[in-house]
């Protein structure tokens, strides 16, 4: 939805992500100097995605959430949400914008204890005047039906269980039909069965087109979302590096993210040629690459296509340091890869024997697949 009060900032193009953080830094002044809570954070989330943000206590999760919601402002950088430059809003604009564009679910519910459940849900509508007064009660009841609590509409929140209060909090977050719902540890105080029902509700909302972001300590829960953003020491770990090497620690993943060289290729462009010297391990971060194998007296064969989070260059690392195949960008679109030099990779693997063994096994598997592909049709 548009802002109730027009602002003079220029909205991004319509094809941009619904949430777009660009080089966001946040410093806090302390007695011993500036504390760098967020460092050059880049994060893009598309409409309809279900994204989890994970990280240890003190890693910057809450600060990141505060940037998106406008509760706090970046020291520098830009925060765009649903076409609005949140970093440019004044306090009056921020409150009304937030009420329409974001639904926020707090860990401890934060329901007003002295008014009924249905009245709690009507509050955001009253504040933003998004629905005619005569329709607000009916909408609140419909939302209670969505979370299966319509029979509790006229009870006080304190009469409900923790799981029921969390469902009311979700219904309240949906009151103004915001495109984005953000939940801070939404299952942290719930038993496993109730947590599962809340997670299922989020899945239903995503299926209806909502964009959901949850902050969680539960890595098992995070793995069930569409994407996971891992934050460590105020920096976002590249999610595709994390996908390619899941046995690394957050600190090690951050080390790879910092050292990786970003490379871009146009559709159909050759990335690596068979037989040339190999000096890096590559992770696909955007688009699709093709592993191309030449065959004597026959046309080349595409052995496999590798999408985001997949990698290549591990065979060469463990063997002759010569490229075993040609790699090119798919004709379907541009490609971005992250290149990690073999010296840095070797240094990293010396810290993680589990990752070294996983890559070694993958190298053997890929070598066997390449041999089979070369022999096909001969």
Q: Using one digit for the tens of pLDDT, what is the confidence trace for 115-142?
A: 999 999 999 999 988 899 999 999 999 9
Would you list the DSSP string of 201-239?
HHHHHHHTT-EEEEE-S-HHHHTTSSEEEEEETTEEPPH
pLDDT tens, residue by residue, 62-94: 899 999 999 999 999 999 999 999 999 988 889
**CB environment 167-184: b (16+ within 10 A), e (fewer):** bbbbbbbbbbebbbbbbb
The whole-chain average pLDDT of the chain stands at 88
User: Residue 270's closest CA among 290, 249, 254?
Assistant: 290
Q: Where are the domains of the chain?
A: 19-236, 253-375
The pLDDT of residue 296 is above 70: no
Structural contact between residues 63 and 28, judged by C-beta atoms closer than 8 angstroms: no
What is the rounded distance in angstroms from the CA atom of residue 261 to the CA atom of residue 270?
Answer: 17
The pLDDT of residue 293 is above 90: no
What is the rounded distance in angstroms from the CA atom of residue 65 to the CA atom of residue 214?
Answer: 9
CATH pick for 253-375 out of 2.60.120.10, 1.10.510.10, 3.40.50.11540, 3.30.300.20: 2.60.120.10
pLDDT tens, residue by residue, 145-161: 989 999 999 999 999 99
Q: What is the pLDDT of residue 355?
A: 95
**CA dist 378 to 172, 204, 297, 305, 371, Å?**
65, 50, 9, 21, 12
What is the rounded distance in angstroms from the CA atom of residue 340 to the CA atom of residue 342?
Answer: 6
For residue 235, the tally of other CB atoms under 10 A from its CB is 21
Please name every residue paired with 181 in a beta bridge, in sequence order, or none if there are none.
103, 212
What is the rounded distance in angstroms from the CA atom of residue 230 to the CA atom of residue 222?
Answer: 10
Q: Identical fold at 19-236 and 253-375?
A: no
Would you list the DSSP string of 57-75?
TTSSHHHHHHHHHTSS--S
Nearest 5°: the CA angle 287, 290, 320 is: 120
In terms of phi and psi (left: phi > 0; alpha: psi -120 to 50; beta: otherwise), the region of 321 is: left
How would residue 15 be classed by pLDDT, with cut points 50, 70 and 90? low
Q: Domain 19-236 - what CATH class? A: alpha beta
Sign of CA dihedral 303, 338, 237, 21: negative
């Amino acid at each position: 939805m548009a802002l109730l009060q027009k602002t003079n900032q220029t909205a991004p193009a319509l094809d941009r992500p619904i949430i777009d953080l660009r080089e966001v830094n946040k410093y806090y002044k302390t007695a011993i100097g500036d504390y760098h809570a967020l460092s050059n954070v880049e994060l893009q989330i598309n409409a309809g995605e279900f994204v989890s943000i994970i990280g240890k206590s003190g890693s910057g999760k809450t600060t990141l959430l505060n940037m998106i919601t406008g509760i706090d402002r970046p020291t520098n950088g830009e925060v765009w949400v649903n076409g609005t430059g949140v970093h440019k809003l004044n306090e009056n604009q921020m409150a009304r914008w937030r009420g329409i564009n974001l639904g926020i679910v707090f860990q401890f519910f934060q329901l007003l204890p002295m008014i009924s459940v249905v009245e709690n849900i009507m509050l955001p509508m009253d504040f933003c005047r998004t629905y005619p007064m005569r329709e607000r009660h009916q909408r609140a009841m419909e939302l209670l039906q969505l979370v299966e609590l319509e029979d509790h509409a006229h009870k006080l929140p304190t009469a409900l269980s923790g799981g029921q209060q969390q469902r009311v909090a979700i219904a309240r977050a949906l009151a103004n039909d915001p495109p984005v719902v953000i939940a801070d540890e939404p299952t942290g105080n719930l038993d496993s069965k109730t947590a599962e029902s809340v997670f299922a509700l989020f899945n239903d909302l995503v299926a209806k087109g909502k964009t959901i972001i949850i902050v969680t300590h539960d890595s098992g829960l995070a793995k069930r979302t569409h994407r996971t953003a891992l934050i460590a020491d105020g920096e976002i770990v590249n999610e595709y590096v994390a996908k390619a090497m899941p046995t690394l620690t957050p600190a090690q993943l951050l080390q790879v993210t910092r050292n990786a060289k970003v490379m871009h290729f146009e559709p159909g462009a050759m990335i690596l040629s068979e037989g040339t010297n190999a000096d890096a391990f590559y992770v696909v971060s955007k688009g699709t690459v093709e592993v191309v194998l030449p065959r004597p007296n026959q046309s080349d064969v595409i052995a496999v296509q590798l999408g985001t989070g997949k990698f290549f260059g591990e065979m060469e690392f463990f063997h002759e340091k010569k490229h075993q195949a040609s790699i090119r960008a798919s004709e379907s679109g541009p490609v971005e890869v992250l290149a990690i030099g073999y010296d840095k990779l070797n240094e990293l693997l010396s810290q993680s024997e589990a990752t070294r063994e996983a890559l070694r096994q993958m190298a053997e598997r890929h070598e066997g697949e390449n041999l089979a592909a070369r022999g096909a049709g001969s």
